A and B are shown apart, each in its own frame.
Chain A
């Protein structure tokens, strides 16, 4: 099983700041099969990034993904008020299709 570890657990930032979220895999993951999701309280998750760096439909370009192998990054270039949420990474190339524990981005 591929274990995903996200850091930091919580990121406290102000609107307009840059957010950098990390996800590390216990073994190499093909970039093709790596995703990021956003979840707000009381809502279902939303796919942000697939294939490590491709934005899903309707996702603003302030969200970007990068990385390969065991280290992946989600960057939010300038935080908008609606971006404060929990973010999960996931690999879907090797069953079980594991999620990371999440990074909470909250308002400083």
Chain B
């Protein structure tokens, strides 16, 4: 069974830092691009960042650029999101999601999702 388990959330003061992790199991992690998405309380989904399977390419939302760093360790089947200079508006549930495989191709659509980890900046 494909599973994603996020961790690392918590309460942090404005200007602080936090690193989120997403542990993957049940699939060949190193084949898949991965995403981070967040959802502020009572709000919609906001895509945050994505990384290619080899970690050679990364993508960021404008809100994350310069403050957040996405990375992965394919030997540990783990995705990370390092978040610096946190602001109140970063308060959200952060979810990781796999990319989508169709035949031999991989896309950044979000196929399997974790349940999320909560970040509160206050």
Contact = CB atoms under 8 A, between A and B. Distances in A.
Interface size bucket, A side? 20 to 34
B50 interface: yes
Contacts of B116: 44
A45 interface: yes
Interface in B92-116: 95, 100, 102, 107-111, 113-116
A47 B59 contact: no
A67 interface: no
A66 interface: no
Nearest to A47: B111
A80 B71 CA distance: 40
Interface string B49-68: 01000000001111000000
Interface string A76-104: 00000000001010101001111111100
Contacts of A61: none
B109 A35 contact: yes
Interface stretch (B13-21, B39-47, B73-81, B82-90): B39-47
A50 B102 contact: yes
Interface in B1-56: 35, 37, 44-47, 50
A99 B46 contact: yes
Given A35-B109, A47-B110, A96 B45 contact: no
Interface in A27-59: 32-33, 35, 37, 39, 44-47, 50-51, 54, 56
B108 A97 contact: yes
Given A37-B45, A37-B110, A95-B50, 11 more contacts: A35-B110, A44-B95, A44-B114, A45-B110, A50-B107, A51-B102, A56-B111, A90-B110, A96-B61, A99-B47, A102-B44
Interface of A: 1, 32-33, 35, 37, 39, 44-47, 50-51, 54, 56, 86, 88, 90, 92, 95-102
Of all A-B residue pairs in the complex, the 6 with the closest CB atoms, nearest first, are A44-B113, A95-B59, A92-B108, A99-B45, A35-B109, A102-B44
